[in-house]
Each structure stands twice: as C-alpha cells, then as structure tokens.
Amino acid sequence: MQKKYKIWIDEAWRWPWLGPVVACALTFAWNIENSLLNKINDSKKLSEKKREEIFNELIKLSIEEKPKIYFWVWVVDNYIIDEINIKQANKEAMKRALSELLRKIKIEDVDSVLIDWNDNYTFSELTKKPIFIIWWDAKIIEIGAASIIAKVFRDKLIWTYSLIYPNLNLENHKWYGTKKHIDYLTWPDKVTWIHRVSYKPVKKVLENKEKLLLHVCCWPDATIPIVDLKDKYDIRCFWYDPNIHPKEEYDKRLKAFKKVCKIEKIPFIEWEYDTKKFFKISTWLEKCPEKWERCKKCYDFRLERTLYEAKKLWINLYTTTLTISPHKDEKKIFKTWEKLNNENNEQFLIIDFKKNDWFKRSIEYTTLHWIYRQNYCGCIYSNKK
C-alpha cells in the first residue's frame, strides 16, 4: 500500500522589522530514530547551538539515497513584503515551499497539509483546504522539525547580513524590535535595504527629519530659508535679537516673526530682549561702520546663544538667517562658526542664503503675505533716520 504523507509547514521571520520571511514545508517519508525525535522541540525553546545540531542531522536524512525526510525552504524578500503585506508574503513563501515539495512526492499521495498558525490560507495546488493549528511547535515533531529548518536557515541569513551591517547587531536582536535595534534605528540614513519600510516603526523613522535650530535675525530674511529647509529638516526657530532698537521696532519684527511661523506651521522659541548684553559688547564700537568689528561681536553673541540653546534642546544642527542680508558679512559669520565648532560637537549648517535669489524671493514672500519689512538692520547705530 502506497504511503500517505502528511505535510507540515511552518515559517520564520513574520514579526521582525527587516529581512525576508522564510517558510519550510516538510514531511517524514520513513520512520526516524527516536534519538533524533527526542531532541526535536519548538525551535524557540532550543538554543542556537542545539538547533544547528538538529538541523544538520535533518539535512543528512534528506540527502540519503532513500531520503527519510523531504523538505523545501522558500524565501520571500522584504521588497515583496512591503508590496503585498506580510500575511500575503507569508502565504507566498508557504505556497512556493509546498509547490517545490510536491515535485518530490505526488499530490495524490498527500493525506493532509497542516500549517502552524491560523491564517486560513487556501492553495490551488491542493484538492482540499489545509488544517491550521496554533502553537503546536513543541507538541508535533514534524512542525518542530519544519520550525528548526526555517529558523536555522534564517540564522544563516542573519550571519551573512551581519557582515554587511556590523553596527546593526543583527546577531543579537535577530531583527526584532529590541531596544538595541530601536537605539540604532534613529534616522532615515540608518534604514538599510533589508528593512521592511512598510512596517510602522521603520516607516516612522523614514519620516523623521533631523532637527535644526534656526536663529532668526529679522523675520523677512527668514521666510525663504524656512520654506526651502523645512522639507528636509525638522525646524525650530530661535528668536534672539536684543540688538534691535527701539522697542517698538523690535515688537513689529517679533509680530511678523510669529505671523510667518503660523503660516508655515513652524514651532518657535522667543528668547529675552536682553538689551544690556548688546550695549555691553558694543561699547567703544559705536562708530564702527556696518560689517566691521561691532557687527562681528553682534554675530558672535547671538550665535553663541543659539549654540547654547541647541545643546539644551539636544539639537545637533544649527544655523542662522543672518547670511541672507546683503549688509551682512557671511565670512565673519562663518569665522564665528569655526571657533564655536572647534569647541563643541554641534554642527553649524553652512549656508550662504544670499545665493539662489533667496533675498529677492524673501521680498516676494513678504509682499504676498503682507509681512512687515524693516528698512535698517535693527541696530540703533545703523538707523540713519
């Protein structure tokens, strides 16, 4: 009488955040020694070393002249998972593994197909629906064997990928969402080509933007820098300009600043109107022409305060809109940046906002939105009225 086969299917890697899903379809063709059967258990309850040992014994049984085990493994990669979702990708892996196994045994000799879990898949290759069972890896030896083969195959892939991504700690977290994986996956450039980008935790990281603290000198000058930078960076605006006089002028500019923040939906920080600081640094420099030493000191204390705020907020990038004005010396501003960067880990984003018609475009923006524009830099010494 022709032997009737029971086919058992299990998968590995359904839940991790990266990598393919692996399915194994397996059947026992002949009786297997109890010494091996007694070792087989749910793969999750076995050590990696023990799984590897059992895996090697199963492989030997499958390549004998008269095999005692027939099995097939199929892999569906993360790109397909992202395209059709994990449930359908898992079905595809099981379907392909089953199809290949049916090349070794005739479909008419198959008694039943049993699958671990409750996905309720149907396969065109079968004349009747599979039987679904849950959490039977440890109770049914064949399911345990399929589980071991799938997971050891997975572990070998992990080892290979860990050579490509040594900093990802793949061998430790097995691609699940552990703390180490979360700590690594902080910015979009940390997402690898094997991550499942449709998974919410990974998708969220890809939507992240690096934070940038943007010092705003006068709001009309900041309009286009904001518009152009906000797609790339998560911007916080920092208003700190105690050099602006008189107070009525300061209030007009602050009001314009808040108006544009509202239009562009950008959060902002308004710092104190510390006029004493400005007059202290400008002592004996009252008669300096614009762009000379008094301006240099004014750049310095505002950039130093911006850096302090960036450190306090744990923001690594900072820059200033000062460079957009044709009346400002960007070389002196960048000189201040060089000094500060030699002393700190935060990075100043070097941008000369005068380029690419940013100043001209800022005039167009303020005209369109009825934003107040000043007619002098703000410093009491530059006001020629």
Which residue has 């002393």 as its token pair?
343
Give the integer Cα–Cα distance in Å for 245 and 228: 29
- What are the sequence ranges of the domains in the chain? 5-173, 210-368
Instruction: Report which residue type is found at 332.
Output: K
Same fold, 5-173 and 210-368: no
Burial (Cβ within 10 Å: 0-12, 13-18, ≥19) of residue 289: exposed
Instruction: Locate 97 and state its tokens.
Output: 């593994």
Pick the CATH number of 210-368 from 3.40.50.620, 3.90.45.10, 3.30.565.10, 3.90.740.10: 3.40.50.620
pLDDT of residue 170: 84
Q: 196-210: per-residue pLDDT in tens?
A: 999 999 998 888 888
- Per DSSP, 229 falls in state H
Listed as ranges, residues in the chain with pLDDT below 50 are 385
Which whole-number Å values give the CA distances from 338 to 293, 331, 348, in the listed order? 17, 10, 9
Residue 269 β-bridge partners? 238
pLDDT of residue 328: 67
Torsion of CA 320, 321, 324, 329, to 10 degrees: -40
* pLDDT tens, position by position, 356-366: 676 777 777 77
What pTM did the predictor assign? 0.58
List, in sequence order, every residue forming a beta bridge with 195; answer none if it has no partner: 18
- In 106-187, beta strands by DSSP E: 110-116, 131-133
CB contact set of 123 (below 8 Å; sequence gap of 6+):
94, 95, 98, 113, 130
**356 CB neighbour count, 10 Å cutoff:** 12
Entry field: residues in the chain: 385
Residues 6+ apart with CB under 8 A from 366: 220, 223, 372, 373
CB of 304 closer than 8 Å to CB of 268: no
CATH number of the 5-173 domain: 3.30.420.10
Q: How far apart are CA 107 and CA 115, in angstroms?
A: 17
Residue 95: per-residue pLDDT = 94
Pairing verdict, β 5-12 and 21-28: antiparallel
Structure tokens at 56: 């090697």
Beta carbons within 8 Å of 334's beta carbon, 6+ residues apart: 350
Predicted local distance difference test score (pLDDT) of residue 44: 65
